[in-house]
Each structure stands twice: as C-alpha cells, then as structure tokens.
Chain A
Amino acid sequence: MKALQSSVRNPRVSRRALLGGLGVSAALSPFLPLLNAHGQEAQPLRLILWFTPHGTVYDNWKPSGGQTDFTLSPILKPLEPYRAKLNILDGLRIQADGVGAPHTKGPPLLWTGSPLNNDMTFTRSDGSGGMYYGWNSAPSLDQILIGKLKPTTPYKSLEFGVRSGGSHPGSRMIYTGTRTPLAPETNPWAAFKRLIGDIGKTTGELERIRTERRSVLDVLGSELTSLQGKISSADKLKIDQHLAAVREIEMRLQNSNVACQGPVLGTEVDTNKASNTPVVMDAMVSLMAASLSCGLTDFASMQYRVGENDGGYLYDWLGITDLEHHLMTHEADTNMTAKGELTKIYTWYAEMFGKFLAKLDAIPEGGGTMLDNSLVVWGSELGKGNSHSFEKMPFVVAGGAAGKLKTGRYLQFNGVEHNRLLVSMAQLMGVPEMDKFGTTDTKTGNLTGFM
C-alpha cells in the first residue's frame, strides 16, 4: 500500500517508469493527453459499481438533518472522513419488473434497469407458475458506457467479487448483453498475478512469455475460427464470444511496456472460507484501487456476496454466529436483537466501502485525488429484507465525477425510480444524450436535484 501511494502519484503520467507487465498494454500512451470518444481532452474519469446484499436497516441508515448540514447515521458513520465527497441518495426505488424472486432478480436489475429473461433456463417449470427465469435480458450501464465511450485502457472493465460464487442471476450483476453475464474474479491473489503480477521479471523473461502467449493465442484463434464454420447457429454465440475474448487478450499483448507498482496484498488465504472474508476484502480493495490507479481500466465493479441468500453463512468476525444474514433479514422489525446484528453487518459494509474510498482518496491526481475523478456508486438488490421491498434503496454515491457533480449532500427523494440515477451516471460519465436507461424505464431525464 505504501508503495502504491508513494510511487503512483499521477499514475496516468508516471507509470511507464515503473515496470513492464504482461497484462498491460501501451495502447494508451502515458504521455499523451487522454481523449474521450468525443475527441475532447478528458480527465480520467472512472465508474465503480459497488454491491452489498440484502438492503439495509433503514432507520439506522438514514442520515438526519438537511441537504448539507446532515449527520451521518450509525450505519454510514464509517464514511465520515469522506462526508464532503458523498451524495447520499435516500428514497429511490427499483422498478422490480419481471420474473424471478426478489433476491434473484435484484442484482441484475440494479445496474441494468432491466428484468430477467422470462424463460426456463434454470428450472423446468411445471407450466403452472413454477419458479423459472433466465439470465438477465439486457446489458448493465457500465458495459453500455464502454460501448459508447470506447475506452482505450487495457481492460474495458474489471469485475471483482468477494464470496460472490454461484452462477445464477442472483450472483451476476454485470452483463454485456442478454444472457451474457460477466463473472467476477473472487481471488485477489490470482487477479494480482494476472493483472500486475510480473514484477521482478526481467525484460527478457517478459518478452519470452509474451511471445509464448501470442503463439498459444494464435493456435486457439485458429481452432475457434475453424469451429465457427461447423457449429450450429444456436451455439455460434458461445464460440464467437470465446474468440472475441481471445482477440482481446491478443490486443493486450501487442504493446506491453506499461505497468505499475502493485499493492502489497499480504499472505494468500482460502477465499472460500467465510471467516477469511475481512482479509480477502482488504486484499481486493487494495487490488481494485491499484487496477484503477494503474490505468488498467476505468470501469470496475465489486460484488460482495450474492443476492441469493447466503445460507449457512455467518459473520463470526462480527460476533454473529447463530443466524445467517439472510435469515436475520427476515426477522420482524420489532426484533431488536436481529436489528442490532443486522446494523453491525451493514456498518461493516460501510467500513469496507470506506476502505476503498480511502485508497482512492490517497492517490493525488490533478488538483485533487483519484476519488474526485471517480463516480463510485454503492447499491443493493433490495431495500429491506423482511418485506423484500424495492423501495428506499440505500444508494450512496462517492466522488465528484471530475468536478461535474456537487458533493457533500444528503438528498431525499420520494420514490423516484432508480433509472433516473442510472441516466445521471451515464451523463456524468460523458454520454449527455442518454435520457432513458433499462427496459423498465418508462420516463426520461436524469435525477433532478442530484445533477
């Protein structure tokens, strides 16, 4: 961490002086000003989508006071150091259209604003109201923005997760299109090795590995191309996408003189073991911040756990060992023990989010910090567990989007659909013409009062 903070001052300028990494391409020349899709000189502006499951305890989440003189709630207290850089959005709702149980359809709806496919992909229905649904029907906002802004970073986007296992709509929130979820990387040590792990290798070794990988990709590309001519039309998408991924990796290898100093992650632990979660989270937060500051990508996401309930999963590091989180969220509002324990969990969520903000805020950039040049949006798949409500969604936005967004505000809305927030995010990221987002969206415009 120290290495990261001291050596990556303005990463967009200085990182070439660091190391040569394999996962990194110099398609983005560090000494040229960045140009966005509209050809204007642009600040490096990043979008980070941050997910935690099962809503919140609203009473303990809701700040008190007015728009600028507010006091942070117990749950959001860990964000106090960044108070001036926040927008706390109270009272948004998700239009939870379509098939699927709330925990299942919530994560995809959050960033796509679109429902699950109404098909029988995951369950064979008995044809009379059985539980059935498919993957999500439309892409998430970040992927749409990538398509429009055409970032030249080595990775278009990076998806991270902590214990976000399973492969199910409730465990996938990022989609490039219908039926095409992007799986998050859940092992920060594996990701480190892949993204910035070539530190210490000589130039000769790096060149050899690059050559070798190019030759491997060449063979894989030939094999996939040959399959394209033989596979049925129904299966062609799978081969096409596989080939596209191979080509993208090849592109990254074309020029790879850019890299940067990685963070110090600490000793690897078993990422599947629940009690290791805080350690894994720390490592992931460091890696995410480094990936962004190194310019590996401008679009990242963090998915902590899944929308599907986390059965058999306890928070022993918070002293909660008797009841699973999901089950606890089903307790009545009058159950003060459950409310207290849930508040502990949601406060821990805020601590983790705060740790990430701290990393971004510690990296000087332009006249401010990297956090100022970012749009970090924290959301959940539900407002509240016991009612499975999509109302009063606990949204927190951090960062000033490179000066485009006023911060230090507590904003209250009365059931405005979150599509307006998604539209605002698109506009802040540089797509001013977008005024609708998601197939659940029946209105237009950005989030009044936020922009």
Chain B
Amino acid sequence: MRTSLAFAALSLLTSCTAQLKGGGGGADGTPGPGLTPGGGGASTIPPGEKPLDCSKTQVASLPLLRLTREQYDNSIRDLLGIDGHPSLALAADEKLAAFYSNSISPVSRLSVEQYRDVAEDLAVTAVKQVDTLAGCTGADQNAACADKFIQSFGRRAFRRPVSAEEAARYRGLFDANVARGFSEGIRVVLQTLLQSPNFVYHLELTPAPAGVAVTPLGGYEVASRLSFALWDSSPDVQLLDAAGAGKLDTKEGLRAEAERLLQSDRARDALASFHLQWLGLDNLLDTEKDPQLFPQFTASLKGAMRNEAVSFADFVIRRGDGRLATLLSAPFTVASADVLSLYGATAAPAADGTVQLDPTQRAGLLTQSGFLAAHAHANQSSPVHRGLSVRKNLLCTDLPDPPANVNNNPPAPDPNATTRQRFEQHRTDPTCAGCHQLLDPIGVGFENYDAVGRYRITENGLPIDAAGELVSAGTTSGTFTGAVELAKKLSTSPEVRACVQKQWFRFSLGRFEGPEDACTLKSLSDDFAASDFDVKKLLLSLVTSDAFRYRKVQP
C-alpha cells in the first residue's frame, strides 16, 4: 500500500532492533511476536503451545464487502459486454495490507450518487442493443420478455435467482417506463439492477440453523466467492447453474468448477489483480520518472511493464508448471518488444510466447521492469523501497511506524558515489541500522537495475556492488550477491511460501486471516507442500477450504 512509501527515508526505528530478538511464528499460522516472518500454517509448534485442534470447523468472521473497482468493471464487461473502466468514476477502494477490499467504512452519500451516475450511463449504452440484451425482437418485445430479462439478467447481476417479490418491483419499473418504448423500460430496470445492494455488495445471507457458530454458505454464495476469487468477476451462467443444481455443495463438485474457471482466460483477470496488488504494481501507470533521465518511461512502456507481470504470472500459473519457484526465478518472460528491448533481449519468442532472457540478469517477477520501476524514485533506484517490498510482500513482515520526530533526510544524489555508498549511513549509524538492516541489505542486491529496470554494471562510472543479505528472515537469512541469487533464494524459501499462501488467502477472501483460520491455513500449507508449491494447486485447495466454504454466524 502507499504507506510503504512513507518509509522512503525512515531511519530511527529502535523498536526494530528490539524486535529482532523476538520469537517465531505462531502455531495458528499468524506470526507471533517478533519479526521472524512466515510461520503460516507451519507444522512446527513452538514449545509450550497447544497443538491445533481441527476436529471442529472454524472460520473467522468476514465483514460485509462491497465490490472493488476491478470487480465492478470486470462484472460490467461480463454482464453487458461493455469494456473499459466505468468504476474510475467511483470512490477509490479501501485496502487491507496489499489488497483492495471494501470492508470497513459504509458508502458515503457521494458514492451512492456515483453508483447512480455510472449505472445510468451504462444502461443508456447497453440498451442501444436492446435486442441482444433482452433476447427478443419485434413484437416479442413485450412484458413477457421483460419478465424473462428481469429473471435472467437479474440472476446474473444478483448472483442468485431473483425472488418473486423482487421481480415484481422491477416489473413495476418496466411498466412505468414502457410507454416510451420497450428499450426505455429495460433501461430503467437495468440501471436499477446495477445500483442494487444485491449487485454492489457481496451478500451472504443464507440463514443458519439456530445455535451454530459456523454455517456452510449457500451454493450461490460459494459460486460468487469462487468467481471473484478466480476471475475477479461475477459468475457466468454455467457456474450459477452448477450452484442451483447443488454441485458446489461438495468439495469435489466445487473443485471441478474451480478447475473450469482456472482454464478460462477470465482467470487472467484475477491473476492480474493479485499480482499487481501483491507486488505493489497497482499504481505503476500513475508513476512518473524524470523525463530528462528516463525519456523512454512513457505511458505505453508503463502499460507494457504492467502487462509483462500479468502475462508472465498468467503463463506460469495457468499454462506453465504453476510453481511458485518458477514465478520467482524463471529465466524467461512474456513481454512486448519495448520491454524486451529494455532488457536487451535478443532471443526470438518460443511457440508458447515465452522469451529466454540472460539468466545472469533476470530471474522471475522481482527482476522484471515493473517491480523495479514501481519501487524506485523518479531519478534514482531505491534500495529502501525494493527492500521494503520484499520484506512486506514476500516475507510478510510488518514493520513499525517510522517515528515522527526524527530527521530522516535521505542521502542526496552524488555524481561521485554509487547509491549503495550513499545509503551506507543507514548501516553505520546505529540509530538507522535498527530497521534499515532489515531493508537496505536486501535492496542493495537490486542495484544492478536502474529506476526503470535496466541492467547496469556501473553507476556514475563506479562498479556496482550488489552483495546483499537477508537479515532476520528465518531460514531464508543469509548473504547473496545480486537480485538473481536473491530471487532464487526466495523462490524456495519456507517463509516466502507461507507468506504467499497467506497473501492468496487475503486476496481471495477480502479479509485478513484470523485465529479461527488456523486449521485452514495448516491444511493449505500441507497441500501446498505436497504439490511441490504449485500455485494453481494452492488455489484449488484454498477455494475448497473451510474458510472459503463456511461463514461464521454473527448475531
């Protein structure tokens, strides 16, 4: 999240030093005290703690969520065939750590009007093809057709069948406006469906039996969760039909639908949302660089960098071997010509679209241009940002606030020194070192890449020293030289595996993990290990887990 940038020049974080001595991860899959990362579903139980009791289904509570902008846009595209980003006119999404999720504050007065404005515009556009939309033509465009539209489109918009009472309300809207023509009646129905709380909220209201603490979700609710987790969009008709037929009530049936969804190209949207948010690339398109130093950093290149991360992740997870290790260390990419030219790549693309890169220079997502450019300044690289991003997003380390009263000027640019040398103070000054030893020694490992991700061996005519170290990173701790070696280390790190699993949990459920999710996290981690850390398999485990299929009953 943008907070991370508040660390641009953090220095005195004495509490970091104290925490370095802290303990390891908790048995419940959430980190215990101390900075040792990972621990998600770790099978080792610290001495003195009780072993997990997974005899009863447990799941933490999920607050009422509202569609994110991405979910709104994808749903509009899938429901109406209208491309674009209509949600740009809506208020920005809330974020939980790395991921967008509107879980906390109620909609504001303005938001409700924004929903209306967007819905009105979309409905005007959609009814230009009212024949296709309503599925009837000529004399058949009558009240019966409107009823069918309300049922069929309403079911897709609400992600469940429309009740008779609801249908009657919408029919009333149609009747009140049909005098001006069939398409006018449909238009008003449509704009209302798109403003309906049944569309904009993720409602899970299947009644629970009295007295139970957790209850299985209804079939349509499972379908909805599944579709947003794997497509970042509303379910298609086939998925709703499967829900209606009770096929999602069993793990096997749910898994079969999950596999179908992952095979569909729509899965690219969810993989895009996850990876862009996880790696902090969601604001890449708004990032600017000094045009004198980096004239090539145009809107088109920014878009290509973003696409590279998405296409690569999509390739590895859905068409490649699916493994986390490949995502984080592959010597190939899937990218357009302008990104490849930034890399100096000359190999021709293979039949599957992949391009081999110099394996001494590139290894997976962390050495791609998007990550490197997003975590750099306008005029220089940033060991702090790059180190922080690895810490937070790959190792799941939470860091304390920078103190307010410290003079935290970053070292000024110096034409006679390397970035590494300029940041040396963070290491030598004990007041800085407390926290910066967690960040900079990782970040300097990326010094072979400038602020737009080009490979370099010198800076200001001086040789680059990319020797780095992972400090206080559990079993991943240790020295390395350069980002390729770092990436390989991270790609098989138990701490990173546990963290990635947790990140997927947060993304797909729209909430943080809670103590009651310990058994789900444990089973995920067992499955992930059994699959040799195949992310696609992790997703299948996740969407068939208790946390995904049940909800906690709230008063």
Contacts and interface: CB of A to CB of B under 8 A. Distances in A.
* B interface: dominant SS: loop
A120 to B, nearest CB: 8
B5 A309 contact: yes
B210 interface: no
B6 A122 contact: no
Given A219-B192, A331-B409, A131 B399 contact: yes
A38 B96 CA distance: 44
A443 interface: no
A130 B117 contact: no
B144 interface: no
A269 interface: no
Contacts, number: 258
A103 B5 CA distance: 11
Nearest to A183: B91
Contact of B205 (A104, A180, A231, A389): A231
Contacts of A215: 172-173, 176-177, 188
Interface residues of A, number: 91
A168 B95 contact: yes
A78 to B, nearest CB: 25
A190 B117 contact: yes
Interface in A137-166: 159, 165-166
Contacts of B95: 122, 166-168
Contact of A127 (B33, B64, B91, B293): B33
Nearest to B192: A216
B274 to A, nearest CB: 17
A352 interface: no
A330 B107 contact: no
B401 A327 contact: no
Contact of A220 (B31, B64, B196, B293): B196
Contact of A182 (B31, B102, B108, B512): B108
A223 B110 contact: no
B166 interface: yes
B288 A314 contact: yes
A224 B112 CA distance: 13
B404 A125 contact: no
Given A126-B33, A126-B34, A185 B110 contact: yes
B96 A122 contact: yes
A220 B554 CA distance: 25
Interface stretch (A29-37, A234-242, A368-376): A234-242
Contact of B377 (A167, A220, A324): A324
B97 A386 contact: no
B555 interface: yes
Nearest to A120: B512
B554 A168 contact: no
11 contacts: A126-B31, A182-B108, A194-B113, A232-B554, A245-B113, A311-B287, A312-B286, A330-B9, A330-B410, A332-B409, A386-B409
Given A126-B34, A183-B108, A187-B89, 18 more contacts: A104-B6, A128-B33, A130-B400, A131-B398, A132-B398, A167-B102, A182-B109, A182-B110, A183-B91, A216-B173, A223-B169, A230-B205, A234-B63, A239-B64, A239-B197, A272-B286, A322-B292, A332-B407
Interface of B: 1-3, 5-6, 8-9, 15, 19, 22, 30-35, 61, 63-64, 66, 88-89, 91-97, 102, 104-114, 116-117, 166, 169-170, 172-173, 176-177, 188, 191-192, 195-198, 201, 203, 205, 283, 286-293, 377-379, 397-402, 404-410, 412, 512-513, 554-555
